[in-house]
Amino acid sequence: MREMVDEFSALQRRYGNRGALAGRRGAFHPAVEAYVMPRLKWLAQHVPLSGKTSVLDVGSGEGRFAAHLERLCNVVAVDFSEAQLARNPVSKRIRGDVRRLHFGNGVFDLAFAHALLHHVEDPGGGVAEMARVYRRWVVLCEPNRANPMMWAFYAMIPAERKLLGLSKRHLAGWLHQAGLRVVASRTAGFVSANWTPTWLLPVLRSLEGAWPLGVTHMLIAEKG
């Protein structure tokens, strides 16, 4: 069992530091912004995002969400990948692991994770660790395996394949196990930050909204 955990972790580390990251879209690419901004707009309907709000973006990667959250809040970005942190534009960046966050209890108002949990051997333990460092909210955003485009992409790549066993029900269950109560959830979106061509964005922006086959699930939870 230990060998399987170590093998999974090694796979994720290789994937997180792969050379192909240099060609990925950055936080301010039009398609990335078209993906991120509707989700932050919806989040702001339920959580006050201001200069007084402290946010820990766990698994921040290249800062696709953190870069835009930093315009509104006090943000710290955490990721285990040095290669991705080097591309992350936020001012406060720390190398770390969701399994062992190097912060005290209740330090941040909001703990946020996007597309992280399917890269974690023990997602429930990761959510519990996020719940330890927050004061008010935990927000999870994960790709929707029911979306055909998402399913096809994640099925092809070994380091992404764990998503195929992850559903919205799993996300809610891990939050509940961590002593949290889901106060809002949404499955939405047509835009892929990675693949949608720029010329198609005006059409897809006009169709942005909640639907069961949307590209992502997003859940907001508070203390139960």
pLDDT at site 20: 66
Beta-bridge mates of residue 94: 78
Surface-to-core class of residue 213, CB atoms within 10 Å of its CB (0-12 exposed, 13-18 middle, 19+ buried): middle
Q: Are 74 and 94 in contact (CB under 8 A)?
A: no
The amino acid that residue 160 corresponds to is E
Nearest to 39 by CA among 149, 187, 146: 187
pLDDT averaged over 10-residue windows placed end to end, the chain, 224 residues: 66 81 90 97 97 97 97 96 93 94 96 96 96 96 95 91 93 97 97 95 91 96 87
Tokens at 158, concatenated:
């070994």
Nearest to 107 by CA among 154, 53, 161, 143: 53
pLDDT at site 208: 87
pLDDT at site 3: 52
pLDDT at site 98: 92
Q: Where are the alpha helices (DSSP H) in the chain?
A: 2-16, 30-44, 66-69, 82-87, 123-133, 148-156, 168-177, 201-206
Fold of 2-18+26-223: Rossmann fold (3.40.50)
Q: Where are the alpha helices (DSSP H) in 47-199?
A: 66-69, 82-87, 123-133, 148-156, 168-177
Annotated domain spans of the chain: 2-18+26-223
